[in-house]
């Protein structure tokens, strides 16, 4: 898997032009969803480097991260005359960069692509690290490949259009990065004011968060070992997200991850002696900003089934990434069904 250039941009026009010029191409395409077409495309549409671009647009939200949307992108590339030497720019959140990256990776056995993430979640998570894919069969990210974008351009200019829920959604992944890094990083995140946002300060926190992920991905690009650290909160989180999709209620990915962090930090206390004071501090922050996931014990069996289908598992065991302390990563941790139900009890009841 080729290397990935991540640009923390202070001049969006120059950085986009430079990234595109470095990729020799015959035709240029830009993928957006309906929301980023309306809110984000106007910020860059007048750039000369994008003047010849052919636009491709899909529906917004994770409900459209489907085989049907993927097929639509392939069809638009084909009808637009794309060749193996064409370039796709993915302008949008994690759904767009995941699906667009997968479309580019598979069209004519692979064309180059650039990610311009427009949400906080996509800036610190989805667009960086080479994971691409779509949802399938009711399961998150079931089909996909590892393939790096040629460049990822990260700019806080796009974050000013985010509503509070989408800002919080991305911030959950940053909390995860703090937990797997060091106490100083976590403390910075727990004391940042999410209600009165200093965007310059947020940009620096994003840069630090991205560097944590980059360091891990560089050591383990295809998730054979250390990269599993990035799964903290995700085994439980993906199950909660899948349940919400099945029940046709909207839950943003980062909210599911935040609730998943509560679950897996609880398991970390039980199985790895994670400090209880750090559990309380982090859980308090999450409950204050993310609220609760409405459920009862009747749904535990279904959540357990979703966890059994998690692609990180080996055999019949459910795999968790847990912590012994801040930055002390314990991958491939197993939990019994009884422990998992106790974890869900902890999520359901406030401290």
Question: What is the per-residue pLDDT across 240-260, written as a single tens digit (0 to 9) for each?
Answer: 999 998 998 889 999 999 999
Question: Are residues 66 and 55 part of one domain?
Answer: yes
Read off the CATH number of the domain in which 11 is found.
Answer: 3.40.50.1970
Which tens digits make up the pLDDT trace of 58-110?
999 888 999 999 999 999 999 999 999 999 999 999 999 999 999 999 999 99
Which tens digits make up the pLDDT trace of 188-213?
999 999 999 999 899 899 999 999 98
What local confidence, expressed as pLDDT, does residue 351 receive? 47
Which tens digits make up the pLDDT trace of 263-280?
999 999 999 999 999 999
Question: Are residues 184 and 72 part of one domain?
Answer: no
Question: Are residues 188 and 71 part of one domain?
Answer: no
Banded model confidence at residue 138, pLDDT cuts 50, 70, 90: confident
Question: Among residues 121, 140, 161, which one ends one of the domains?
Answer: 161
Range of the domain at 182: 164-348
d(CA 215, CA 119): 21
Banded model confidence at residue 284, pLDDT cuts 50, 70, 90: very high
More confidently predicted of 178 and 156: 178
Question: Among residues 161, 195, 210, which one ends one of the domains?
Answer: 161
What local confidence, expressed as pLDDT, does residue 122 receive? 92
Which tens digits make up the pLDDT trace of 143-168?
999 999 999 999 989 998 899 999 99
User: pLDDT > 90: what percent of the chain?
Assistant: 80
DSSP per-residue string spanning 230-274 = GGTTHHHHHHHHHHHHHTT----HHHHHHHHHHHHHHHHHHHH--
DSSP per-residue string spanning 31-78 = EEEHHHHHHTHHHHTT-GGGTTPEEEEE--SGGG-SHHHHHHHHHHHH
Question: Are residues 331 and 224 part of one domain?
Answer: yes
Edge to edge, the sheet with strand 87-92 lists 5-8, 151-154, 112-117, 87-92, 28-33, 54-58
Question: Are residues 168 and 157 part of one domain?
Answer: no
Question: Are residues 210 and 254 part of one domain?
Answer: yes
Number of domains in the chain: 2
d(CA 243, CA 344): 13
Computed over every residue of the chain, the mean pLDDT equals 93
Question: Are residues 32 and 86 part of one domain?
Answer: yes
Banded model confidence at residue 31, pLDDT cuts 50, 70, 90: very high
Question: Are residues 251 and 180 part of one domain?
Answer: yes
Question: Are residues 223 and 110 part of one domain?
Answer: no
Question: Are residues 242 and 211 part of one domain?
Answer: yes
Question: Are residues 286 and 140 part of one domain?
Answer: no
- Sign of dihedral through CA atoms 349, 341, 137, 117? positive
Query: In this structure, what token pair is assigned to residue 76?
Result: 């638009």
Which of the residue ranges 26-30, 122-126, 158-162 has the most confident prediction, judged by mean pLDDT? 26-30
Read off the CATH number of the domain in which 196 is found.
Answer: 1.20.1090.10
Task: Please determine, for residue 174, whether its predicted confidence score (pLDDT) is greater than 80.
Answer: yes
Which tens digits make up the pLDDT trace of 291-337?
999 998 999 999 999 999 876 776 667 989 999 999 999 999 999 99
d(CA 185, CA 167): 18
Question: Among residues 104, 135, 161, which one ends one of the domains?
Answer: 161
Question: Are residues 320 and 199 part of one domain?
Answer: yes
Please tell me the pTM assigned to this model: 0.86
């Amino acid at each position: 898997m080729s290397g990935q250039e991540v640009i923390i941009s202070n001049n969006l026009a120059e950085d986009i032009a430079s990234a595109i010029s470095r990729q020799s191409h015959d035709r240029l395409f830009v993928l957006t969803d309906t929301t980023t077409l309306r809110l984000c495309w106007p910020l860059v549409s007048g750039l000369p480097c994008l003047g010849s671009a052919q636009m491709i647009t899909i529906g917004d939200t994770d409900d459209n991260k489907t085989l049907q949307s993927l097929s639509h992108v392939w069809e638009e590339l084909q009808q637009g005359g794309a060749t193996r030497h064409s370039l796709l720019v993915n302008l949008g959140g994690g759904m767009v960069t995941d699906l667009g990256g997968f479309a580019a990776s598979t069209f004519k056995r692979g064309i180059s692509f650039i990610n311009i993430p427009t949400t906080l979640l996509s800036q610190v998570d989805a667009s960086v690290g080479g994971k691409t894919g779509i949802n399938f069969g009711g399961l998150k990210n079931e089909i996909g490949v590892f393939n790096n974008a040629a460049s990822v351009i990260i700019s806080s200019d796009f974050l000013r259009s985010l509503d509070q829920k989408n800002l919080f959604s991305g911030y959950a992944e940053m909390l995860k990065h703090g937990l797997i890094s060091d106490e100083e990083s976590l403390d910075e995140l727990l004391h940042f004011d999410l209600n009165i946002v200093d965007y310059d300060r947020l940009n620096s926190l994003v840069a630090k968060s991205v560097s944590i992920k980059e360091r891990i991905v560089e050591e383990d690009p295809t998730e054979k070992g250390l990269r599993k650290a990035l799964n903290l909160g995700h085994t439980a989180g993906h199950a909660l997200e899948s349940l919400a999709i099945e029940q046709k209620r909207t839950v943003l990915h980062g909210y599911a991850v935040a609730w998943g962090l509560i679950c897996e930090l609880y398991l970390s206390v039980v199985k790895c002696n994670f400090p209880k004071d750090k559990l309380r501090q982090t859980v308090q922050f999450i409950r204050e900003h993310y609220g609760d996931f409405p459920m009862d014990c009747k749904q535990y069996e279904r959540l357990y089934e979703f966890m059994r289908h998690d692609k990180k598992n080996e055999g019949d065991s459910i795999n968790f990434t847990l912590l012994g302390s801040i930055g002390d990563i314990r991958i491939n941790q197993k939990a019994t069904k009884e422990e998992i139900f106790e974890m869900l009890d902890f999520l359901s009841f406030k401290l």
